[in-house]
């Protein structure tokens, strides 16, 4: 097919075009993969089932979605043809651990991933991640029916695609080299990876919040306390505590000692004079005071008259 034109300034675009050209120039009779004309990041692949297995007569079609940061992030695969080995239309990620896509190696490519998926098909499905529990008879039946599977985007059946692939491989000057699957390469389901990653992020956030709370609490507890001078007596009297008084001891019979009489407080001088004057005024009539004043005035006038007469 004609390769669409894209900007080659992006390292991701250059890598994708390079892999597409390599797969086209060195085809394999057992598998093929190429990008769609409308989307360079979506590829479709078709591969033959591994030999000497219940899938050997099967042809399986699927999709490859490349992330924008490819090859730093792994591509995701999904089988569209039922095989009895993998769940159809469920995204598969390849990585070292099978659980963390960050362990994908940029040196791996689409060809390596296709060969790895093909080899994973012949492994025992029991206990394997994403393995479907079914009988070998069902898998052989699905393999026999798989050649007639037709992809709507490709417009061809699996049988037609593999036939063209075989013709290109026989006509090509250089056939595809044998690809060795890395021993550390494993597969995993993308939805499980994302769910596990979210749970790990939540756990990390919870740990961060707990650590921040511990730090805040520790900061409050370790705040410096103002020093108190022990020699200085305490000014504020402590609040008296309410206690039960013991029973009083019996008092011996006899006269009680005289209690000390309270000492009267000395009155102010002005107040004392006012009290004395008020007491004296209360004992003399008012007319007598006026008569004395008149006599004193007459006596003074008489003395003055005698003095001036001399």
Each residue's pLDDT expressed in tens, for the chain with a length of 310 residues:
455 566 678 899 999 999 999 999 999 999 999 999 999 999 999 999 999 999 999 999 999 999 999 998 888 889 999 999 888 888 887 765 445 566 678 888 999 989 988 988 887 766 555 568 889 999 999 999 999 999 999 999 999 999 999 999 998 866 666 677 666 666 555 555 555 556 655 655 656 665 554 544 443 444 444 554 545 444 455 454 454 445 555 544 554 444 444 555 555 555 555 555 555 555 667 888 889 999 999 999 999 888 887 6
Are 113 and 187 in contact by the 8 Å Cβ rule? The answer is no
Of the residues 93, 151, 154, 165, only one is catalytic, namely 93
Catalytic annotation on 151?
no
Q: CA 5 to CA 3: how far, in whole Å?
A: 7
What 3-state class would DSSP assign to 43? strand
- Rounded to 5 degrees, what are φ and ψ at 127? 80, -5
The predicted structure's pLDDT at residue 196: 54
Q: CA 74 to CA 108: how far, in whole Å?
A: 9
Are 53 and 121 in contact by the 8 Å Cβ rule? The answer is yes
Q: CA 46 to CA 24: how far, in whole Å?
A: 14
pTM: 0.57
Q: CA 49 to CA 59: how far, in whole Å?
A: 6
Where do runs of H (alpha helix) occur along the chain? 11-25, 110-121, 136-145, 158-171, 190-221, 269-283, 286-309
Which residue's entry shows tokens 């008879």? 137
- Residue ranges covered by each domain of the chain: 11-189
Q: CA 114 to CA 48: how far, in whole Å?
A: 10
Are 44 and 153 in contact by the 8 Å Cβ rule? The answer is yes
Q: Which homologous superfamily does the CATH classification assign to the domain defined by 11-189?
A: Ubiquitin Conjugating Enzyme (3.10.110.10)
The predicted structure's pLDDT at residue 257: 46
- How far apart, in Å, are the Cα atoms of 270 and each of 13, 22, 108, 276, 277? 112, 124, 114, 10, 11
Q: CA 61 to CA 31: how far, in whole Å?
A: 10
Are 64 and 91 in contact by the 8 Å Cβ rule? The answer is no
Q: CA 110 to CA 95: how far, in whole Å?
A: 13
Of the candidates 44, 183, 48, the one whose C-alpha atom is nearest the C-alpha of residue 108 is: 183
Q: CA 115 to CA 28: how far, in whole Å?
A: 11
Q: CA 310 to CA 305: how far, in whole Å?
A: 9
- Rounded to 5 degrees, what are φ and ψ at 43? -115, 155
DSSP-assigned states of every residue in 24-42 = HHS--SSEEEEE-SS-TTE
Cα within 13 Å of Cα(38), Cβ side: 2
Are 104 and 73 in contact by the 8 Å Cβ rule? The answer is yes
The predicted structure's pLDDT at residue 147: 96
The predicted structure's pLDDT at residue 104: 79
């Amino acid at each position: 097919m004609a390769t669409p034109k894209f900007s080659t300034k992006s390292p991701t675009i250059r890598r994708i075009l390079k892999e597409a050209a390599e797969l086209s120039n060195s085809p394999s009779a057992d598998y093929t993969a190429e990008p769609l004309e409308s989307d360079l990041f979506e590829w479709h692949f078709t591969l033959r089932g591994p030999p000497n297995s219940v899938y050997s007569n099967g042809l399986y079609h699927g999709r490859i979605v490349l992330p924008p940061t490819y090859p730093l992030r792994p591509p995701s695969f999904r089988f569209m043809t039922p095989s009895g080995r993998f769940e159809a239309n469920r995204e598969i990620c390849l990585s070292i651990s099978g659980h963390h896509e960050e362990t994908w190696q940029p040196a791996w490519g689409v060809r390596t991933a296709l060969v790895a998926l093909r080899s994973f098909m012949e492994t025992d499905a029991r206990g394997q991640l994403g393995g479907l529990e079914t009988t070998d008879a069902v898998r052989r039946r699905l393999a026999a029916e798989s050649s007639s599977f037709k992809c709507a985007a490709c417009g061809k059946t699996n049988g037609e695609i593999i036939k063209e692939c075989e013709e290109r491989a026989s006509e090509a000057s250089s056939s595809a080299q044998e690809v060795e699957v890395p021993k550390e390469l494993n597969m995993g389901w993308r939805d499980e990876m994302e769910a596990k990653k979210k749970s790990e992020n939540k756990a990390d956030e919870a740990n961060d919040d707990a650590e921040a709370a511990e730090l805040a609490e520790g900061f409050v507890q370790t705040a410096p306390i103002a020093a108190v001078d022990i020699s200085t007596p305490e000014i504020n009297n402590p609040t008296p505590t309410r206690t039960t008084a013991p029973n009083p001891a019996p008092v011996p019979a006899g006269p009680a000692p005289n209690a000390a009489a309270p000492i009267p407080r000395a009155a102010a001088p002005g107040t004392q004079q006012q009290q004395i004057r008020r007491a004296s005024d209360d004992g003399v009539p008012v007319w007598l005071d006026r008569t004395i004043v008149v006599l004193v005035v007459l006596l003074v006038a008489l003395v003055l008259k005698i003095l001036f007469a001399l």
